[in-house]
Amino acid sequence: MYYAVTVATLITMAMALGRALLGPTIYDRLLAANMFGTKTVLLLSVVAFLYGRPNFLDLALVYALINFIGVIAVLEFIRERADREKAEEMASDESS
């Protein structure tokens, strides 16, 4: 049963990776990358259970935190870039 969960998780990870590479917008790509990270945490947890290695759960938790902080950082970068481009556009309109 847990092997089926592992295979299903790997399939959804492959689908998320495809969406991350082919997503039409940056937000689709970011959401797919976040989903890939979440599925990685799930896969680490299942592997920890299958092999009886509870220390893998610590790795899964750390990876989940890094994934969350990474997504927040990228979203902040995108927002700052959009604000900067808007300010530059307004400045160029005023000077014209």
Q: What is the pLDDT of residue 2?
A: 81
Show the CA angle centred on residue 42, arms to residues 63 and 28, nearest 5°: 75
Q: What is the pLDDT along the chain (96 residues), one digit of tens a residue?
A: 888 988 999 999 999 999 999 989 999 999 999 999 999 999 999 999 989 999 889 999 999 999 999 999 999 999 999 999 999 988 888 776
Q: What is the pLDDT of residue 42?
A: 94
Q: What is the pLDDT of residue 12?
A: 95
- CA distance linking residue 6 with residue 46, whole number of Å: 7
Reading the block at residue 2, the tokens are 């847990």
Q: Which CATH architecture has domain 2-95?
A: Orthogonal Bundle (1.10)
Domain ranges of the chain: 2-95
Q: What is the pLDDT of residue 68?
A: 95
Q: What is the pLDDT of residue 93?
A: 80
